[in-house]
Structure 1
Amino acid sequence: MEAENENRSKWIKVRLKPSEEILLNKRFKKSTFQNVSEFGRAMILGKPVTIIHRDKSMDEVLEELILLRRELNFIGNNLNQAVRNINSAHGFPDTRLWMNLLTIINGKLEPSITQIKERMNKYADLWSQKLKVEKA
């Protein structure tokens, strides 16, 4: 029990070449440790080191998905505004005008929604191919 409460009072000095320091810092930055001391202790004492792996090949896909989500939000907002106006104009002569506008909006939405679905299917196919390759 006393060993657990001991302060770290012993120093070990290690000299590194500049290239070794760069390599150490690169590996440290990919780890989940908060500082280099913890990382170094874990490496020296043979404790498990968790490395964060980021698949940079998916950056393009993620950017495209963000744009698609933004486009869907804009479409949803426009549609909500149109429906709100139709509901508020119910029984007025403007109702027919709003219904025509909703038909036009729907006509413009269909190609965008179809395009989004096609892109999502393409990315799903790419993702599943990548998973199949990783399992093999």
Structure 2
Amino acid sequence: MTRRKVHSDAKLARKITIRLSEPFYRKMEKWLAQSNCQTMAELARSIVCKERIIWYHKDASLEATALELAGIRKELNAIGRNINQVTHHFHSTDIPGQKIFQALKVAEEYRKVGNKVDELLKMVSEISKTWLQK
């Protein structure tokens, strides 16, 4: 597939070379990492042309919380799979003793889910305190 032709006014036809001090270049590298620009040249063009630059901000204080939430999500998914398997076995057997055993297994899994939900609610309340500060 061929590229679309760029209008002659929109072509980047002229080259400008600039020199920067090392500290300012490092600062621009940080800006590049936090912006929506892909290259240093694109960042410089955006600054020179006074275009809008979208800055990405990462809150390091919530890093540990995000990792914990991801872990809890994995555990809840695993518990859900266990419940589905036990339910499948429950419906596929005709032995009453086996059904009671499967029902007790499901009850244990539901207790685990309850504990994880309590952890989630605790974490969400901590996050909301952080975000809703005045």
Calculate the TM-score normalised by the size of structure 1.
Answer: 0.81
CA contact (8 A) 2:36 2:54 kept: yes
The alpha carbon displacement at 1:116 in A equals 1.1
Unaligned runs of at least 5 residues, structure 1: none
- Same amino acid, percent of matched pairs: 20
Q: Structure 2 vs 1, CA of residues 6 and 48 (structure 1 numbering), >3 Å: closer, same or farther? A: closer
Partner AA of 1:121 in structure 2: L
Segment drifting more, 58-67 vs 100-109: 100-109
> Residue 76 in 1 paired to residue 77 in 2?
no
Q: How much does 1:108 deviate?
A: 5.0
Q: Are 2:8 and 1:7 equivalent residues in the alignment?
A: no
Distance across 1 between alignment mates of 2:125 and 2:115: 15
Q: How far, CA to CA, are the matches of 1:104 and 1:10 in structure 2?
A: 72
> Which stretch shows the higher mean deviation, 6-15 or 48-57?
6-15
Whole-angstrom distance in 2 between the partners of 1:6 and 1:48: 18
TM-score calculated relative to the size of structure 2: 0.82
Q: Which residue matches 2:27?
A: 23
Kept in 1, the 8 Å contact 2:89–2:102? The answer is no
Hey, what does 2:4 align to over in structure 1? none
Gaps of 5+ in 2: 1-6
